[in-house]
Structure formats: structure tokens, C-alpha cells
Structure 1
Amino acid sequence: MKTAIHLWPLTLLFLLSLSVSAQVFPEVENKKDIKYSPYPEQNFPNQVFFGDTHVHTSYSTDAGMFGNTLGPDAAYRFAKGETVTSSNGVKTRLARPLDFIVVADHSENLGLAPMIEESNPDLLKSEWGKNVHDLVKAGKMGEAYALWGSGISQKVDPLAEMTVLKESMWQRITQFAEEHNQPGSFTAFIGFEWTSSPDGNNLHRNVIFRDGKQKADMIIPISGYDSEDPEVLWQWMKDYENKTSGKLLAIPHNGNLSNGLMFDEVTLTDKKPLDADYATRRMKWEPIYEVTQMKGDGEAHPMLSPKDEFADFETWDKGSFGSAKEPEMIPREYAREALKRGLLYNTTLGVNPFKFGLIGSTDTHTSLATTTEDNYFGKATPGEPTANPNRFNEKITGYLPDPKGRDYSILHYKTSASGLAAVWARENTREAIWDAMARKETYATTGTRLRVRVFAGFNFSADDLSRSDFANYCYENGVPMGGDLTKAAGDAPTFLVRALRDPDGANLDRIQMVKGWVDAQGETQERIYDIALSDGRQVNADGRATEPVGNTVDIENATFDNSIGEPFLQAFWQDPEFDESQHAFYYVRVIEIPTPRWTTIDAKIFGVDRPEGVPESIQERAYTSPIWYTPGE
């Protein structure tokens, strides 16, 4: 009886539940037709991924022969968040893992240092290879590097006939990438650096594969021995794509060290004026530009932008790797000026050769993609953290004598803990991130992980900033960074901008809109607007704010606090001086509050004097890819 008493209520509840279910929740015959979740059909980029497209390991001769003992495996493990011991024996780890990196080792005698270390039998079959091997093993590293450097300067490959060495080293590189690539969580791109240096001037490009090992192994990377002309590189890239059905893009960097060649008015070899065919090919193969890295910032120059108080930032303008700089070279070296000149070309050629998006990366030669001021492991192994004077005083440029006897040397304390590539994509895969780079939906940071979104259109309003479906609406009604505005009909373009600080970093000072255009007289112009400010500061009638954000940096203790600035800023902005007949571009610059520079942090940690000639604090920043307006389209 006791058992029956307990079973009856359960049975009754079961029968009642069936009855209620049948009445309240009727069976739907075509469940596949139900549309409840909004996400299955959503395909716009909804994540920002941070990475480094410019990492050198011991497989780069100018890294491995200077003491870097860490190969690609260590570089990938570090980027993934593992603790790694540097070549100088100091442990380091990132605050947060990166989402992707490109091991872009120099293709010129790729893997020479590891080959020497392992006494590679194929290397020893070469008389030159045995000589350089024996010098290193005898402790004469400087002589060995000088021997290699003489071949580089004369453009004579000492291992030109050793195809087996080139293939084996390249296939090691691609294997490392394949082993570390984890679609959905970490992207290990295959890549290399083509190191064009005519007369010591920097025309380097990093070549990035969308593909995996199977296709990448079908070629051997082009090198500076083969040619120093970017047009030859582009043809090589085209040949690769024709051969493999794969995809490549190249990223130029360090125009500030090109002595006027990066954005020149004529072709490199033939010295012909740029034409439509050149412009079309350049933008197909080089859709983005590395605007900031350790060897200086390349966004703007105070000589070119005298009304921009933020233009003189980590400026390197003394010379290239071969000679000092002439003032007339500077206009052909900086991104903002090139973007302006690109508009002019568009008016005459119908094509813009300098219509590039922006990214940052490191150019580290330590294998360690360290980009924050408190974790900076230097340009190369001699500059890794230490109280040794080399940390500040290692010479980066100025080794070769200037023809006019000028001193154009730049020392290591002038390097910057920079930068990062930020990419808006749908997923963390080679394909999705590469495609975002190709369409220029990217932005550069000087090392911090600011989140920045920009959209432009002709019908946005300030109310759209508060939409719950902000991104979806903006993609449907406008274009993102890297995009084109194709109609005006008398309306001035409207912009929606959001910026969120790095969770581990500093508050934001301001958001700025940088505009460049071609005026009615056919001259290029630029103007900067402060469109969002922290701390209740006001924008004046001229679109600028005169009151600085302040500075909380404690120099002696190398600390700061976030008692000023804002963690989040956003803005609706409409161009007040828009002329629908004028070619224009717009990009956003987001600036943080001041924080201690790495040299200030070093002074505190190692008890050394701060070097003269560098500021104690730094205002990190982000630069977005432009949005272009073309009249009549």
C-alpha cells in the first residue's frame, strides 16, 4: 500500500504533463522552417584578431648570426602564450596570446645559422659554406657575418647552386607553420621576407601565403639575390598563383628607411613615370602597408604635417641603411603623404597606386613578438633586456659610410615596442584573416590591443551609435574601414566610430578623423578633426581641441594610472567641408593617454640612466585603414 501511495501521484503528474504539452506546445510539422536564431545567416566580420606579420627567427641570417638561437617553433609557442626563455636566458611570456603570426624569415640564404649549428652536410659540400661554418665554429662570428654580408652587398648568392639547401630549409619553415596552425584558435601563416635593399635603401616586403604547405612547397621563395625590383616580385607572385592556384599578398614596410624610394614617382629599374598598369599591379599584390614597427613610425612626419601635434611620433628620419637622408626624400616615405598623392594619381590615371590599408607589426629579430613597453625584448638579441649599455646603444643604422661623411646612425634606444596588426574577420583561419587583409579591413596599433570599428555611408545618424544591431546595420547600410564610397548625390558622408581600450592597457585620450583630399586647384590637402574627447573636454569651432589630456606617468617608478581618459569613446561625424567633386580619403587615429616608455621602465628595473633624446612617456595609438571617396562613381 505504501508503494502504491507514492506511485499514483507520479503517474497522475505524467498524464497531466502529456495533456498540457499537447495543448500548450503543439507539434510543429516543419521544424526546419522555424527561424529563431539570428546567427545562421549572419556572415559579416564580427571579431577582431591581433597578430604579427613580421617575426624573424634564427632562420634569418641577420638574427641567427647575431645570437638568436630560437627557431620558428619557439616563435609560434611564444605567440600562443607559452613561457619561452630568450636567447640571452631571460624568461618571457605575453600577457595574452596572439591570434596569428607570420614567421617572415629573410629568404636570402634562409636557415644559414641553423645549418652552421648542425654542421649540415649539404652546406659543407660548398667551399663557401665550409668557410663560413668553420669561422663560426672557431668563434669568429663577426668575420663569418662579414663574409656573408659581402655577398649580400654585391648581390651574389654564395649558395646559388645549392638548390637542395633552399628546398630543405623552406620545407622546414612550412612544416613548422603546418604543425602550429590550429584553425579556429590560432593561425600560423606561411611567409617570408623579400629583402630588397638597393644601395642600402629599404624596399622590403613580407610575402604572405593564404595556402598551406602542399602549395607553398611547390616553389622556392624569391630573394633579393634574384632581383631588387618590386615589379619582379609581383611577377613571381603571379607565376606562383598560376602554378598552384594559390593566393599571395605582399606587405611593404619601413618607407622611412627607403630614402624616398618606397612611394617614388618613377619605377625602380626603368625610371619611368608610374602608369595605370603599374598602379593596378601594385594594388593587386600589395593591398596593405606596415605603417608602424620597431624601426620607427611611418604614419606622418612633422615637416609634412606641421599642424598635427601628434605627427612627430617615434620618428626615424636620419637615413637608410646605406646613406643619410636628404629632406626632399621625406615626402615619398610616409603613409599619409602617399595616400594624398595616390588621390592625385587617381585623377590622372584613373587608378590609385597608393590605395593601401594599414597594419602594424614588430620586425622582431629575437623570435619574440613583444609589443608592450613593459615587455620589450628589443630589435635583435644584442638588445634584449639587460643593464648592459648595448641595450640602449647598439647601432641599428649607420654602419656603412655615408658618401658625404654625415652621421646617420640610429641607436637601439630609439626603437619602439611596436606594433600589431588588427584584422576584422569572421573566424581565426588563414583564409578568413588573409581575405580581410586583401580587402583592407585592418588597422595598425603601436603595440596595444585597442578595438576600433569605423563605418561610413551617406545616411547614418548619431542615433545609430546606440543600435543593438550596430555592426549588422552598418554593414548593410555603409562600408567598413578599407572600403569605398561610391555615390554622393550632394550629401556629405557620415561616419560611425567606436573605440575600446586594451583591457590590460591605458585609457583613451581621443578619436581623430584624418582627411586627405585634392582641392579645386589640383593640390593635395589634409585636415585633422578631433571627433571624440575624454574627460569632458570640448572641440573648438575649428574641429580641434587645444586642451591636452594630461599625464599621470610617475617617471621614477615607471608607472601610470587610469584616473584620466576614458575606457570607451564613440562618435558620429559628418564631413563639414565635403565637396562631392573632390577625391578624398578618411582614416581614424585613436590615441591613448601617456604611459611609460620602455626606456623609462628599463631605467627603473636596471637602475640605469634614461637615454637623452627620447621622451619619458609615450602615447600609444591606432591607425585604421582609410575609406576612400571617388566622385562620379
Structure 2
Amino acid sequence: MHKLSKLLFLTSLLSSTFLLSSCDSDILNPADIQADVKQAPYPQQVFWGDTHLHTNNSVDAFGFGVRLGPDDAYRFAKGEKVKATGGLDAQLRKPLDFLVIADHSDGLGVTRRIYEAPRWALKDPLLKRWHDQMHEGPEGSLAVTSELIDRAAAGTLPAAMRNQENQEENSRTIWQENNKIADRHNRPGKFTAFIGFEYTLMPQGDNLHRVVMFRDGKKRTNKVLPFPGLDGSNIEKLFDYMDNYEKNTGGKVLAIPHNSNLSNGLMFQMTAPDGGAMTAEMARRRAKHEPIMEVTQIKGDSESHPYLSPNDEFAGFGDAGWELGNLTMSAKKQNTMLAGEYAREALKRGLAIEAKTGVNPYRFGMIGATDSHTALATADEDNFFGKHSGTEPNKNRAAEPQNLGTREGRFGWQYLAGGYAGVWATSNTREAIFDAMMRREVYATTGPRMQVRLFGGWGFTPQDFAGNWVEKGYSQGVPMGGVLPAQSGVKGAPTFLVSALKDPDGANLDRVQMVKGWIDAQGNLHEKIYNIAWSDMQKRPINAAGLIPSVGNNVNLQTATYENNIGANELQTMWQDPEFNASQQAFYYVRVLEIPTPRWVLFDRLRYGAILPPDTQLTAQERAYTSPIWYSRLNS
């Protein structure tokens, strides 16, 4: 069994006989918490956050070196300066609006418990030796983690680590402490601290992980424990857990599938998990529990792939290395698997399943997240602190990976410094942001904070932008994530109001594209990409194939800088589908591209003299993906 696969298997078995101490370093004054936050009549502001961050309570994160905990993670997300595990000062240029700490539910805090236990309290000689090695430094910690994995596979763990009752007791202690810290940092109207965990379903190394995110505070979440994913369970059992939580507590919870590009085709299957036919009830259940998915993160981008979309010149962003196999590289990737791994194809598959069952299981919105194991939720290229603490800024991190085995072609320069979730909500509160996610009024970016709006309707015109077009978008149409039903007596194609505004601290915009997918009468699935707005339209005329010339690239490779003398500050348009067929179910989402900018590897070369492999990609066009709008001639 591969080392990482063993590690994740191990975490479902571990327990210990000692408890964690409380972490109360950031106690907020209750007077600072606003009990009542005014709600906007409709979403007028986009809120930025990370829904997938690991701290020292994740068994792998601590084993790979991170020493920052939930308190540090919240303070960093709120804009405070913290000291990273490697000793560097870390601070966001702009604070985030919300954060979900999603430590692994399996083996919650086990490596940290060994490290933090008083040495005298460890009666087992092996646990005592591990404690000593971990205190020697990162190399010792990694050695312990490796040995711990091997012993778990061989069945030779100490008895204290196999006691199920102790395991649950310690998980409850950590979970409830984390919930308390989240409630202390949650400041309605100012910063939202969500409670969550990562469910690590991973059959044979195929990544089917989910972030499980609660709408509620500790009063409700303390009544449950994080649900394990490495005990042979399947996604239906997770949905049972979620249903029981809502029934027994009156709370609300959702699940967010991870980046799907490492699932070897299993994340978005056409069948039920056991290979049988997907029923309408299964489809309805998945759509209810998983309203959004994580389309981009550090381990690559899951929007599209050149094999699936050969006519998409911008397909395959951040795919380098990640298309080789599943999460643990225990199984190679076959082209036949790709359709079950990428969001655009999944959206199309949803239409096909809907045609058979009447329900679309893959009617999901799209967000970005980091999946950082450093407790630092940063997605900025010039402020990238790596996937884990062994890849915090240093001159060697872009080369062959350190301490993660020999998985060729990944975990070096192939890491992306992304991404973030943009949420259109009526306020910065748990309730408003969670509810916006449930209605899919969200979008993903690979890091930059460009502001993107999308509305669909039946009578929008370019003149609508002259007035309060956002209010009109809500009153006469549906926003991103919505369903646009067919209307009796309405002729013509749907119209869309689209607006993209650059990140104030970032790069200009290259173009805005509309991505359409549909199913025809024979059940065949189709897609097409339309360039609908772009910079310098007079100088970059569109050709008969619908393509436009490149915006150019003015990145200075010697200084890791660029100029905003190409591209546009804002792109705005009304677009109508020129090939609309009212009898065909369809979806539409917007993709926004920036002009080329330097990647984190270029900053490493400038700052640390990093020697980069010859195939290293030094620049990229960062982007955003909105949630789709679905045209439906059905009542689903």
C-alpha cells in the first residue's frame, strides 16, 4: 500500500489516552458580536472565503510539519500577521470574509496528541520514542509518521492507539474545542467562522473526499462527531449522517465534493455507487446534499480537460502532473475515466441522467478553495505558503517533491496557488452565506478576487445596464445558480446580463466566455464556448470560428512583474444564445480570464534563487468560473 494511502487508512484506527489542552488565545468580547445584522434586500456584495483549510489537528498536516492550530488559522484569515511553521511572517494583503476549517475526521488530532502529551504520561516506550523524535524537528516528525504508517499496516500499533472508546473521547474533545474556537471568532457582519470537517472517502486511493459544512454553532454541532470516511462507508452513509443531524438538532449541513480530478472517474458517475442504475431518489438526494462543488484548488483544476473539450483553447488549466493517476498514484489514469472527473462533463451528465430519471443529480454550483495543510488560507501567487509545511517558501520547493514519496510529475511546481470562493449573500453571517451556497449563488476563482455577476432571463437588453441592472436581474430573471424555466407564450432565446470587474489589486481582464452545455433529442451531449466580451475588441476581431487573437503577455520574467497596459478593467455585456432550441435542456456558465501574470514559482526564483525544472510553467491566465444557470423545459 502506498505511504499516503496507508496514512489515511491509519487515521481511522488511531486513538490515544491523553487529551488536548484548551486553546483560548483569542477570546472575543461578547459586546463586539452583533446579534442582529441587517440583511440587504438582495445580494449586493460578494464575500470571499476558503471552505477547505487544514490545521495541526489533521493527522497528515501535523505529520508533515504544521504547528499552527485553528486559532492561528482564523486570525490569519481575518488579516492578522502570524508566524508560519517555518518561521516566516505570514499575512494576507486583504482579509477574508469567511473560513471553514476542515480537518480530517479520521484520526482527528492523533499526531498532535503524541507530540503534545507530557512525556511522563506516555507509559508505552514506543509512544515515548515517537514523542522524542517529533520534538527533534521536521525530519523526526516525518520519520515518526512513516513508521506509524508501516506499523498500522502491519497491525503492530500500541494497544493505547487501538482503543475505540479512547478514540471517540479524544475526537469529541478536539471537535468541541474547535467548535468553541469557531464560535469565538465568528463575528456576524464582520467575519464568519464556519464549523466543518473533511470526510475522506477514498476507495483504493480514488479521491471522493467531501468538506462537510454546518450552518450552526457549537450548541448544535457539539451533539455530533465528525463522520469518518475510511471505514468502508459510501456516500449514502454520509447523507444518512447529514439527514440525522438535521432531524435531531434542527440544524443544517451541506457537503462539498473536492477537486474531482483525482477520483479516477468516480466522483460524477452515471450510475449508483454500486454500479447499478441511478434512481430518481438517489439523484434527488445528491442534489439536495451537495449543492456546490470545489472546482479548483492547490491540487489542480477540475473545470475541463483537453481530451473532453478538444475545441476549448483554455481547457486543462493547472492539469500538469495531476492527470497521471488518482490521489495516491495507486492507479494510473485512463482517458475513459476523465468524463467522471471534470465539472463541465458532470454538468452534461446531469442532463443525461435527468432525461432518464426526471432529476438532475449534478445541478451544482462551483467554488474554489485552497486545501492548504499549513493553516494559512492564502491563494495569492506572490504569497503562496505551499500545500503543507514542507513546501512553505524556500528555494527547493518547486523541484522534485520533498518527503512525499516518488509520485513522479506532481507536488512540485505543479501546485496551484489557489483558489477562493466568491459568495453573493445578503450579509456576512453563517446563515446568509450558507443559504447562498444552498441556492448556488457562488463562483470560483483560482485566486484573484474579480467581481463577477450573471443573470438569465427572457427580455434583458443592453440598455438595462444604464439603470439598476442588478435589481432588475433579480426581479426579472435568475442569478447564477438559478433555474430559468420555459415560459408559455415567450418566443426567442434567453438573454443574459454578464459583468466582470477586475481584482482592484490584480490584473486586467482578457475576456469573458459563455460555456453552454445541452442534450439533444437523441440523448447526445454537446458543449460550445462563446467569446462574448473581451478587451480591445476593435483590435482583436473575432473570426468565423468564434476565436479571437491572444491578448498578449507582458510578464517580465526577470522581475516577476507585469503591466496592466493590456486587457480591460471591466467587461460587461448582454448576450443572447444564437443557437437556442426550446426543446433542449441546457446550462450556461461564465468563465472569466485575466491577462497573463507571474506564477508563484517565478517569485521563488526571484526571491530565493530557486532552480526550476525546465518544463516549469512560469506564467498563467488566472480565471473565474460562475455557477451555471439551467434552462429547463421540465418542472424539476
Structure-2-length-normalised TM-score = 0.88
**Counterpart Cα distance in 2 of 1:548 and 1:582:** 33
**Counterpart Cα distance in 2 of 1:348 and 1:75:** 45
Task: Return the offset for 1:438.
Answer: 0.6
**Counterpart residue number, 1:587:** 589
Aligned: 1:535 with 2:541: no
Task: Return the offset for 1:543.
Answer: 6.8
* Residue 312 (structure 2) aligned to one of 308, 323, 327: 308
**Counterpart Cα distance in 2 of 1:568 and 1:503:** 11
**Counterpart residue number, 1:502:** 503
**Counterpart residue number, 1:204:** 209
**Counterpart residue number, 2:91:** 93
Task: Return the offset for 1:143.
Answer: 4.2
Question: CA 1:123 to 1:186, structure 2 compared with 1: closer, same or farther past 3 Å?
Answer: farther
* Superposed counterparts of 1:183-222, under 5 Å: 183-222=188-227
**Counterpart residue number, 1:119:** 117
**Counterpart Cα distance in 1 of 2:146 and 2:277:** 37
- Conserved? CA contact 1:425–1:433, under 8 Å: yes
Aligned: 1:299 with 2:303: yes
Query: What RMSD in Å do the two structures reach over aligned CA positions?
Result: 2.3
Deviations along 1:613-633, one digit per CA (max 9) or x if unpaired, are 232211000000000011144
Letter aligned with residue 379 of structure 1? K
**Counterpart residue number, 2:474:** 475
* Superposed counterparts of 1:231-380, under 5 Å: 231-268=236-273, 270-315=274-319, 316-320=322-326, 321=328, 322-380=330-388
Aligned: 1:382 with 2:384: no
**Counterpart residue number, 1:444:** 444
Give secondary structure in 1 for the equivalent of 2:513.
strand
Aligned: 1:427 with 2:434: no
**Counterpart residue number, 2:3:** none
**Counterpart residue number, 1:169:** 174
Task: Return the offset for 1:267.
Answer: 2.8
Task: Return the offset for 1:271.
Answer: 2.2
Task: Return the offset for 1:128.
Answer: 8.3
Letter aligned with residue 220 of structure 1? L
Number of aligned residues: 584
- Conserved? CA contact 1:531–1:539, under 8 Å: no
* Superposed counterparts of 1:454-473, under 5 Å: 454-467=454-467, 469-473=468-472
Task: Return the offset for 1:394.
Answer: 1.3
**Counterpart residue number, 1:104:** 102
Deviations along 1:448-481, one digit per CA (max 9) or x if unpaired, are 10100000000111111221x2211110000000
**Counterpart residue number, 1:14:** none
* Residue 598 (structure 1) aligned to one of 589, 593, 600: 600
Task: Return the offset for 1:538.
Answer: 4.7
112-121 or 241-250, larger mean C-alpha shift: 112-121
Deviations along 1:533-560, one digit per CA (max 9) or x if unpaired, are 1023455365723211011100111100
Give secondary structure in 1 for the equivalent of 2:142.
helix
Structure 1 segments unaligned to the other structure (5+ residues): 1-39, 400-406
**Counterpart residue number, 1:35:** none
- Conserved? CA contact 1:152–1:225, under 8 Å: no
Task: Return the offset for 1:365.
Answer: 0.4
438-447 or 42-51, larger mean C-alpha shift: 42-51
Question: CA 1:42 to 1:200, structure 2 compared with 1: closer, same or farther past 3 Å?
Answer: closer
**Counterpart Cα distance in 1 of 2:470 and 2:536:** 27
**Counterpart Cα distance in 2 of 1:93 and 1:375:** 8
Task: Return the offset for 1:254.
Answer: 1.9
**Counterpart residue number, 1:13:** none
**Counterpart Cα distance in 2 of 1:397 and 1:344:** 40
Aligned: 1:54 with 2:14: no
* Superposed counterparts of 1:6-155, under 5 Å: 43-119=41-117, 124=122, 133=131, 136-137=134-135, 140-149=140-149
**Counterpart Cα distance in 1 of 2:515 and 2:500:** 15
Task: Return the offset for 1:398.
Answer: 6.4
Aligned: 1:182 with 2:182: no
- Conserved? CA contact 1:104–1:206, under 8 Å: yes
Question: CA 1:188 to 1:522, structure 2 compared with 1: closer, same or farther past 3 Å?
Answer: same
Task: Return the offset for 1:186.
Answer: 0.3
**Counterpart Cα distance in 2 of 1:572 and 1:146:** 56
Task: Return the offset for 1:122.
Answer: 13
**Counterpart Cα distance in 2 of 1:532 and 1:123:** 66
**Counterpart Cα distance in 2 of 1:330 and 1:395:** 28
**Counterpart Cα distance in 2 of 1:398 and 1:277:** 42
**Counterpart Cα distance in 1 of 2:334 and 2:210:** 23
Letter aligned with residue 299 of structure 2? K
**Counterpart Cα distance in 2 of 1:104 and 1:342:** 28
**Counterpart residue number, 2:14:** none
Structure-1-length-normalised TM-score = 0.88
Question: CA 1:177 to 1:152, structure 2 compared with 1: closer, same or farther past 3 Å?
Answer: farther
Letter aligned with residue 416 of structure 1? L
**Counterpart Cα distance in 2 of 1:520 and 1:123:** 70
Greater Rg by CA: 1
Give secondary structure in 2 for the equivalent of 1:558.
coil
**Counterpart Cα distance in 1 of 2:572 and 2:283:** 35
Aligned: 1:392 with 2:399: yes
Task: Return the offset for 1:142.
Answer: 3.4
Question: CA 1:276 to 1:600, structure 2 compared with 1: closer, same or farther past 3 Å?
Answer: same
- Conserved? CA contact 1:196–1:204, under 8 Å: yes
**Counterpart residue number, 2:27:** none
**Counterpart residue number, 1:611:** 613
Identity of paired residues, percent? 49
Structure 2 segments unaligned to the other structure (5+ residues): 1-37
**Counterpart Cα distance in 1 of 2:48 and 2:143:** 39
**Counterpart Cα distance in 2 of 1:434 and 1:632:** 27
Aligned: 1:411 with 2:411: yes
Task: Return the offset for 1:491.
Answer: 2.2
